[in-house]
Structure 1
Amino acid sequence: MTVIEKAKELGAIIQQDERYTAFYDAARANDNDPELQRLIGVFNMKRRALNEQMRKEDKSAEILTSLDDEIGEIYQEIMANPCMVKYNETKEAFEKMLTAVNYIITNSANGKDPMELPDEPPVSSCSGSCASCGGCG
């Protein structure tokens, strides 16, 4: 079996994992929540209005502040929506699993014994920027 075939097999296994299914079920629930979709639509509309206001030469500080406040309030409503809360929780769990898989694959490709690697990557202070980094793991 080739590496690519094994990667495809791993992809299929990931799609059977409960974290994957929970995440995609939560994403579908978000898509099917009319109140959440309404709030997202209002949020996007207000954000566009804010961007348009910011591009104007004769910006109104009052309008900018008002729009910014409204956007913040709507964002809080979106994030408090039960479907969005579930989505964020399941997304975090799914991404944590993907990070662990990537950690094992990357370290294996760098010569480490995959059977000796921990199931989760060690906690690091990685900023996400590789520009000034000495290297991972």
Structure 2
Amino acid sequence: MDCIDLFKKAAAALQTDPRYLELDAARRENDMDEELQNMIGEFNLARLDLNNESAKAETDAARVAELNQRVNDLYSQIMASEGMVRYNAAKAECEAMVSHIDAIINTAMNGGDPMTVQAPTGGCTGSCSTCGGCH
């Protein structure tokens, strides 16, 4: 078995991790939330209206301001919804897990011992001694 096959097995295992399962459940719940989906649809239409108005040769500043406010209000409502708060928290947990995996891979690629890699804190950029990115 080569390393690609092993990574595929690891990726399948990742999909059984409780952090991934929470993200997937939050995503599915949001997809089924009719009120949230309607707000997202309104947001997309308002953003399209804003883009169209802004692209005109002679824009109506008051209309642009009104549409911009509508886009911002809808975005705030969407992001404050219970489902999106849950989704974003789960997404942050999964992103931290992926950063840890990335640090392990970077350590191995730089000749370090991947078994000693600790979870990065504060978002790994690959340029610190934690993941070996600067070697």
Q: Deviations over 1:100-130 (max 9, x none)?
A: 0111011111100112221x1254684x9x9
Alignment of 1:56-95 (within 5 A): 56-95=56-95
**Is contact 2:30-2:84 (8 Å) kept?**
yes
Letter in 2 for 1:71: V
Paired residue type of 1:136: G
Q: Which has the higher contact order (CA 8 A, sep 6+)?
A: 1
Counterpart of 1:4? Answer: 4
Pair 1:41-2:38 in alignment: no
C-alpha separation between the residues in 2 aligned to 1:50 and 1:5? Answer: 47
Q: CA deviation at 1:57?
A: 0.9
1:136 corresponding residue in structure 2: 133
TM-score, scaled relative to structure 2:
0.89
Unaligned runs of 5+ in 1: none
RMSD: 2.0
C-alpha separation in 2, matches of 1:125 and 1:7: 21
**Equivalent residue for 2:115?**
115
Q: How far apart, CA to CA, are the structure 2 residues paired with 1:28 and 1:124?
A: 27
Q: Give me the whole-angstrom Cα distance separating, in 1, the residues matched to 2:116 and 2:124.
A: 22
